[in-house]
Amino acid sequence: MGCVISREVQSGIVSEVKEEKSLTVESNRTVEEVSTSRGEGNVVEVHNGEKVKEKEEKSDGDGVQRPKGERRRYKPNPRLSNPPKHLQGEQVAAGWPSWLTAVCGEALNGWIPRKADTFEKIDKIGQGTYSNVYKAKDTITGKIVALKKVRFDNLEPESVKFMAREILILRRLDHPNVIKLEGLVTSRMSWSLYLVFDYMVHDLAGLAASPDIKFTEPQVKCYMHQLLSGLEHCHNRHVLHRDIKGSNLLIDNEGVLKIADFGLASFFDPNRRHPMTNRVVTLWYRPPELLLGATDYGVGVDLWSAGCILGELLYGKPIMPGRTEVEQLHKIYKLCGSPSEEYWKKSKLPNATLFKPREPYKRCIRDVFKEFPPSALPLVDTLLAIDPVQRKSASDALRSEFFTTEPYACDPSSLPKYPPTKEMDVKRRDDEARRSRAAAKARVDGGKKHRTRDRAVKAAPAPEANAELQHNIDRRRLITHANAKSKSEKFPPPHEDGQLGFPLGASNHIDPDIVPHDVSLDSMSYTFSKEPFQAWSGPIGNHPTTNGITKRKTKNTANDALDLSKPYKGTLKDKGKGKKIIA
Ligand SMILES: Nc1ncnc2c1ncn2[C@@H]1O[C@H](COP(=O)(O)OP(=O)(O)OP(=O)(O)O)[C@@H](O)[C@H]1O
């Protein structure tokens, strides 16, 4: 078949050092880096499956851990992806397609071919912007795995580039709370490529949205501790995830949480700034600096998202569910306050003039979340700091009193065993419920006169029509990226939020005729339906605002920042056309 899969996974950074010495990896010998939430310093050497010794490591200040006595011989280039030509030749000879060795040869090192027909697809379990995900069985080991099939639409160089980056990043990460890339399956003949992962039954969005599940404080601490430990590892390895949200936090039946979907992740160099796109992170979890156009940012973007997740787990629903970038920023200002004068001055954010409110907004996190456990408030407050510097680091968050005071985080293995609950399962269940409600209604209506039914159908669409509408909106959002998950870096659309609101990424994203500079943000407003939210991971799920928009204007106050039962005043106009936004 000419298909291949890797068998051995190495920690990328450690293997870079090994690669220098010898390009041949000794059989049955792997080096695993073990990390803890307190820091990442121990290297465990494993020989023939047995732990041989633990080595103390030291870092040369570049965050890369290496054994005592071994000095940094060269500064690894985090963006390096291609091995020298002769290595590419070896990889092709080993069975890898040459196009793959050309784009991410480094990530293939140490992996050996295996045939794709040794996997049996069981079910489609997920769909992403550029991939389908399947549950499958490895027929050799009997293990259940997840196969992420990457689509290459006409071999679009962008999608190849992003796929290569995701693979490279995944191979550099090795932590219990980060999804592990177990291998790649590809064919010389076809352009499709499968990424092989451990199969995970749940995601946090699905669990959180499940009506039967109410997390206790120790459980929230347990999930947050795992999330922050995974983030600490990514950041120590100079990787920004840039899309932390519930549906990207996968959970297995042992309660272990793993950060997944590194499709938007990027390497960063803390010592040498290079501009990055601000069109990343799903809207509800996107920090203010990105909405304000920052291209020079760091770990703070992931920490903000983690703060949104913590708020969500404790509050019971998403804390800032904006529909457009403007609305998102407004929600942030209302809850977290608007940036201080000092921050405006030092940050020099591209969109500052457009989004600086005339009157500053007061921060009211501690009022709004006064019901939160007292030890959680300081952490929420830190993670949701407007100035990213004040969000500190994942390691600091792990040392916060939230984790060091009783009740402590429970052990993952003590978490209840839930039925499979992914965000996708929740959506499927909602769709089924809608369909059966529609069927029941149709049976009732069936007894009525024909003319009456016709009129009723015209007057108000049947529930399944709404469901279909919702489904199409969701799909369109997935496809167009206008769903608040900025994928413009993957497939840059001309006007990313065109259908939903204002694309803020470009400096001219708002028509000054519509939003004059001297208009306070307070004068722009939006509306919410009174229905409760059903999905937790951004507007991909059922979103009440898509069901209709009320034109009623009401005055909003700081305290209604999170009060979704009240309609929020509103006349946000569509870009340049003066239309109401219909998401
Ligand atoms: N290891 C896994 N085990 C089980 N399910 C998984 C696994 N990896 C991914 N999935 C499912 O597939 C979905 C899509 O995967 P993923 O998010 O990695 O793809 P993507 O193309 O990057 O999607 P998106 O466009 O949402 O970012 C996930 O939301 C999840 O439900």
Per-residue pLDDT, averaged over 8-23, amounts to 27
Best mutation site among 123, 124, 132, 133 for ligand 1 pocket (most ligand atoms within 8 Å of CB): 133
Residues with CB under 6 A from ligand 1: 125-126, 128-131, 133, 146, 148, 179, 197-200, 203, 247-248, 250, 260-261, 263, 422, 424
- pLDDT number for residue 198: 94
CA–centroid distance, 217 to ligand 1, in Å, is 27
Ligand 1 geometric centre to CA of 26 (Å): 33
Helix 463-480 with 423-446: angle, nearest 10 deg? 150
> Which of 131-140, 307-316, 369-378 shows the lowest per-residue confidence on average (mean pLDDT)?
131-140
* Extents of the domains making up the chain: 85-198, 202-423
Is the pLDDT reported for residue 392 higher than 90? Answer: yes
pLDDT tens for each residue of 150-159 = 876 656 777 7
Q: How confident is the model at residue 440 (pLDDT cuts 50, 70, 90)?
A: confident
Q: How far is the CA of 125 from the centre of ligand 1 (A)?
A: 8
Q: How large is the average pLDDT for residues 329-335?
A: 97
User: Which region, left, alpha or beta, applies to residue 242 given φ > 0 means left and ψ of -120 to 50 means alpha?
Assistant: left
- How much is the mean pLDDT over the chain? 68
Q: Do 228 and 398 touch, CB atoms closer than 8 A? A: yes
Mutate to test the pocket of ligand 1, among 123, 125, 193, 474 (most ligand atoms within 8 A of CB): 125
Structural tokens at position 528: 């919410």
Atom of ligand 1 nearest to the CA of 150: 21
Task: For residue 190, report the distance from its CA to the centre of ligand 1, in Å.
Answer: 22
Give me the pLDDT at residue 45, please: 27
The pLDDT score that the predictor gives to residue 154 is 59
Residues flagged as binding site: 148
**HEC assignment per residue over 149-166:** EECCHHHCHHHHHHHHHH
Q: Which CATH architecture is the domain 85-198 placed in? A: 2-Layer Sandwich (3.30)
Top mean-pLDDT range of 148-152, 158-162, 197-201, 353-357: 197-201
* Of 138, 203, 243, 302, catalytic: 243
Which is more confident, 552 or 143? 143
pTM above 0.80? no
What pLDDT, on the 0 to 100 scale, is given for residue 514?
A: 25
- The reply to whether 212 belongs to the active site is no
pLDDT the model gives residue 388: 96
pLDDT digits (tens, 9 = 90+) for 447-469: 554 443 333 222 222 222 222 22
- For residue 263, the ligand 1 atom closest to its alpha carbon is 22
State whether residue 52 is helix, strand or coil.
Answer: strand
Mean pLDDT in residue range 514-538: 31
* pLDDT tens string 18-63: 222 222 222 222 222 222 232 232 222 223 333 323 233 333 333 3
Chain segment 194-210, per-residue pLDDT in tens: 999 999 999 999 999 88
Question: Measuring CA to CA, which residue among 578, 577, 581, 555 is closest to residue 568?
Answer: 555
Q: Around Cβ 208, how many Cβ atoms within 10 Å?
A: 27
Query: Is the pLDDT higher at 505 or at 272?
Result: 272
- pLDDT at position 424 is 66
Edge-to-edge strand order for the sheet containing 119-127?
Answer: 3-4, 181-187, 193-198, 144-150, 131-138, 119-127
The rounded Å distance from CA 68 to ligand 1 centre is 39
Using the atom order of ligand 1, give the atom closest to the CA of residue 258: 1
pLDDT at 575: 28
Q: Which atom of ligand 1 is least distant from the CA of 423?
A: 31
Closest CA to 304 of 227, 418, 361, 198: 227
User: Is residue 410 pLDDT above 90, yes or no?
Assistant: yes
ipTM of the complex: 0.96
Please tell me the least confidently modeled range out of 194-208, 313-327, 465-479: 465-479
Pocket probe mutation, ligand 1, options 123, 144, 148, 242, max atoms within 8 Å of Cβ? 148
Domain 202-423 in CATH 3.40.1190.10: no
Mean pLDDT, range 111-133, rounded to an integer:
83
